[in-house]
Amino acid sequence: MIIAERKLFEQIWDSIKERKRVLILGCGTCVSVCQAGGEKEVGLLASELRMKSKLEGKDIKFGEATIERQCDREFFDSIKEKVKEYDTILSMACGAGVQFAADVLEPIKLIPALNTRFIGVTIAEGTWMEKCRACGNCVLLSYGGICPITICAKSLVNGPCGGSKNGKCEASQEKDCAWVLIYNRLKKQNRLDDLKLVAPLKDFTTQTHPGRYVNEAYQKPEMEVKNAK
């Protein structure tokens, strides 16, 4: 899941205060789960902006809409007529969603309302933790399902550094040492012998930017015919 957080209100206000018609567009997937950009958050931000606009003597029209995903073209169909009423879209999606929305809704101005943080998981109510860097060549098999690239502060793939103490990382005593976690996990799986193996240097060659992936299942002749219609 992509984790994001709302920008400071003053940053958002400064970015739209000279606009006339602003549609606040939420995203109903990742940023909705992390309570940053779903329908509820759209409503809260809209209320704040309307109040600020009134206090500042600004005549700005604010609209609200939320689609299931801002990273899929098909979900924009439901708002294509509504968008015509506005000169600005304030997107509450992750960075990928904002960029895709800007492509789909061109030439209307797109303004991001969120900061995209990381790919993570829910570890407690209202708390999320990074678990994956999308590095392009997954090594989880070798480490019991714990990613040293992400969890280790130094991204070490061949054992801990000399700075860990009492199971904690030297970078922060609140952070577990990734290699202690890996050791304990492999021990539970009766795989401690795997630690004797020397891992090759991490291959980052598949992490090209911007990344692009084509699923061959969608490139079959019948799909090409269908898409051409």
Q: What is the pLDDT along the chain (229 residues), one digit of tens a residue?
A: 999 999 999 999 999 999 999 999 999 999 999 999 999 999 999 999 999 999 999 999 999 999 999 999 999 999 999 999 999 999 999 999 999 999 999 999 999 999 999 999 999 999 999 999 998 889 999 999 999 999 999 999 999 999 999 999 999 999 999 999 999 999 999 999 999 999 988 877 777 788 888 888 877 665 555 555 5
Contact 101, 113 (CB under 8 A): no
pLDDT tens-digit map of 141-184: 999 999 999 999 999 999 999 999 999 999 999 999 999 999 99
Q: Report the distance separating Cα 215 and Cα 29, nearest Å.
A: 22
Looking at 21-174, list the stretches that DSSP marks H as alpha helix, in order from N- to C-terminal side: 30-33, 39-55, 95-104, 148-151
Q: Is the peptide bond before 107 cis (omega within 30 degrees of 0)?
A: yes
The confidence score (pLDDT) of residue 221 equals 63
Q: Strands, E, within the chain: which ranges?
A: 2-6, 21-27, 61-67, 88-92, 109-112, 114-124, 127-132, 168-169, 172-176
The confidence score (pLDDT) of residue 218 equals 79
Contact 105, 89 (CB under 8 A): yes
The confidence score (pLDDT) of residue 227 equals 58
Contact 112, 91 (CB under 8 A): yes
Does domain 2-118 bear CATH number 3.40.50.11240?
Answer: no
The confidence score (pLDDT) of residue 94 equals 97
Q: Tell me the domain boundaries of the chain.
A: 2-118, 135-196
Looking at 105-206, list the stretches that DSSP marks H as alpha helix, in order from N- to C-terminal side: 148-151, 178-188
The confidence score (pLDDT) of residue 56 equals 97
Looking at the chain, list the stretches that DSSP marks H as alpha helix, in order from N- to C-terminal side: 9-16, 30-33, 39-55, 95-104, 148-151, 178-188, 221-228
